[in-house]
């Protein structure tokens, strides 16, 4: 397989879930790592790593939390002029805990409250449709539009992309509003979803038939079909040392889009069955590669492009990851929860969460030793 960076002009615009991901391990909770995350954030950041021109659209406020997201995306070359649309709000925050399973190996869980004081963390707020209208003339011509949450603004952007010859990619993690969800599928050229998360998708999709539909099956791999063709099942690659499976689906998506969507809808319409399978295998190999690292995109910060390319192509060739120890640079950010959990923030959120005799910040400082040292973002390799 030939694997090269995106051609000049390959542009993707995306909107949806773009939170601040905070990742920590049970065996060393003081080393809290911070990333731009969520399906939308991960797919866009990975495509930027692959050489695409990336434009996230969000309504993140000018806050310390949002700045970490911006710094991370900027590290990979993302364009940030549409990430603070009005009315702004605090970005969502998700805490990911990585822990050992009783019978060996590791797994993870997600929380939307501070693990130290129980304070509710900011939640997702979609971009408003009127805000999208206001920036329409400034948006770039997109070969691809990606979204993972249904909203009127996302659907308006999808229509704009389709009308200009771009590929619309929809990867939901939930159904939400069934009417909007059904409309989103009708607008989509590529529709990807997880069997574990959306088992009842066929009950709300109606007669929509995207050009390509992909259903992921966890460790069993995935199945896909092109319009008018039968389902094709593809086994996953073997992973010899799994560290963290979070984000694997996002890497798979990015790999598929990288090979199929750089030339817009006309390029997608011209692909052969062999092209489709090659894109799926690349996505699966990228998914296997990232499972060797902590965090959805942790491996990106400790590997050069050529080394990454070599590792992914070797997975495709051999059918599994190797036994080499993978290096990962930490993105430690122990102070970030203190901004969220200080009493003033809780008052602003109209929450009554309180811990007797301790403020949220004091509890969080106890949980995250060294919580007053601020953030430390490493250089890109």
Please give the Cα distance from 102 to 125 (Å, whole number).
37
Whether a cis peptide bond, with omega within 30° of 0, leads into 254 is no
Q: Which residue has the higher pLDDT, 63 or 364?
A: 63
In a domain, 348, yes or no: yes
Q: CB 16: neighbour CB atoms within 10 A?
A: 27
* β 190-194/212-216 pair status: parallel
In a domain, 4, yes or no: no
Give the model's pLDDT for residue 102: 77
Query: What is the tens place of the pLDDT at every residue in 310-358?
Result: 999 999 999 999 876 556 655 544 445 555 554 444 333 333 333 334 3
In sequence order, which ranges of the chain are alpha helices (DSSP H)? 38-49, 64-75, 129-135, 152-163, 178-187, 248-260, 264-269, 273-290, 305-318, 336-341, 343-348, 360-367
Give the model's pLDDT for residue 367: 41
Q: Which residue has the higher pLDDT, 326 or 102?
A: 102
* β 28-36/222-226 pair status: unpaired
Query: What is the tens place of the pLDDT at every residue in 160-204?
Result: 999 999 999 999 988 888 899 999 999 999 999 998 877 677 777
In a domain, 6, yes or no: no
Q: What percent of the chain lies above the pLDDT cut of 90?
A: 60
The CA–CA distances, whole Å, from 1 to 78, 126, 309, 313, 315 equal 27, 38, 11, 7, 11
Give the model's pLDDT for residue 354: 38
Q: Which domain holds residue 191?
A: 11-367
Query: What is the tens place of the pLDDT at every residue in 129-167?
Result: 999 999 999 999 999 999 999 999 999 999 999 999 999
In a domain, 379, yes or no: no
Nearest by Cα to 94 from 295, 249, 243, 368: 295
Q: Is the pLDDT of residue 291 over 80?
A: yes
> Contact 150/184 with Cβ under 8 angstroms?
yes
**Number of folded domains that form the chain:** 1
Query: What is the tens place of the pLDDT at every residue in 205-219?
Result: 778 899 999 999 988
Q: What is the mean pLDDT of residues 262-278?
A: 97
Q: Is the pLDDT of residue 378 over 60?
A: no
Helices 248-260, 273-290: inter-axial angle, 10-degree rounding: 150
In a domain, 182, yes or no: yes
Give the model's pLDDT for residue 29: 67
Give the model's pLDDT for residue 348: 36
Cα angle at 46 between 41 and 50, to 5 degrees? 145
Poorest-pLDDT segment among 70-84, 172-186, 245-259, 313-327 = 313-327
* β 167-170/190-194 pair status: parallel
Domain CATH for 317: 3.40.1190.20
Give the model's pLDDT for residue 206: 75
> Mean pLDDT across the chain, nearest whole number?
84
Q: Which residue has the higher pLDDT, 353 or 105?
A: 105
In a domain, 341, yes or no: yes
Give the model's pLDDT for residue 329: 58
In a domain, 20, yes or no: yes
Q: Is the pLDDT of residue 221 over 90?
A: yes
In a domain, 35, yes or no: yes
Query: What is the tens place of the pLDDT at every residue in 31-57?
Result: 678 889 999 999 999 999 999 999 999
Q: Which residue has the higher pLDDT, 321 or 372?
A: 321
Give the model's pLDDT for residue 372: 35
Give the model's pLDDT for residue 116: 65
Q: Which residues are CB-contacts of 107 (< 8 A; sequence separation ≥ 6)?
A: 98, 99, 101, 245
């Amino acid at each position: 397989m030939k694997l090269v960076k995106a051609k000049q002009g390959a542009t993707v615009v995306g909107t949806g879930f773009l939170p601040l991901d905070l990742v920590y391990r049970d065996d060393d909770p003081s080393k809290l790592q911070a990333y731009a995350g969520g399906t939308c954030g991960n797919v866009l950041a990975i495509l930027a790593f692959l050489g695409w021109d990336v434009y996230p659209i969000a309504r993140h406020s000018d806050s310390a939390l949002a700045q970490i997201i911006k710094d991370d995306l900027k590290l990979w070359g993302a364009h940030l002029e549409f990430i603070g649309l009005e009315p702004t709000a605090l970005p969502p925050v998700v805490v990911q805990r990585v822990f050992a399973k009783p019978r060996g190996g590791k797994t993870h869980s997600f929380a939307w409250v501070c693990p130290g004081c129980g304070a509710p963390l900011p939640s997702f707020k979609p971009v408003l449709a009127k805000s999208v209208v206001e920036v329409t003339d400034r948006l770039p011509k997109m070969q691809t539009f990606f979204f993972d949450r249904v909203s009127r603004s996302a659907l308006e952007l999808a229509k704009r992309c389709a009308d200009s010859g771009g590929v619309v990619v929809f990867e939901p993690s939930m159904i939400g509003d069934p009417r909007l969800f059904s409309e989103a599928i009708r607008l989509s050229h590529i529709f990807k979803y997880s069997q574990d998360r959306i088992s009842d998708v066929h009950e709300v999709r109606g007669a929509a038939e995207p050009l390509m539909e992909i259903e992921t099956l966890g460790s069993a791999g995935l199945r896909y079909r092109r319009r008018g063709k039968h389902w094709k099942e593809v086994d996953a690659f073997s992973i010899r040392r799994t560290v963290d499976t979070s984000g694997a689906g996002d890497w798979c998506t990015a790999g598929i889009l990288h090979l199929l969507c750089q030339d817009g809808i006309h390029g997608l319409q011209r692909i052969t069955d062999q092209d489709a399978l090659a894109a799926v295998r690349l996505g699966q190999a990228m998914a296997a590669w990232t499972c060797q690292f902590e965090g959805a995109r942790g491996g990106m910060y400790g590997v050069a492009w050529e080394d990454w390319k070599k590792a992914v192509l070797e997975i495709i060739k051999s059918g599994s990851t190797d036994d080499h120890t993978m290096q990962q640079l930490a993105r430690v950010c122990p102070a970030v929860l203190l901004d969220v959990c200080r009493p003033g923030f809780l008052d602003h959120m109209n929450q009554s969460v309180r811990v007797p005799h301790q403020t949220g910040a004091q509890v969080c400082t106890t949980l995250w030793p060294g919580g007053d040292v601020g953030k430390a973002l490493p250089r890109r390799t």
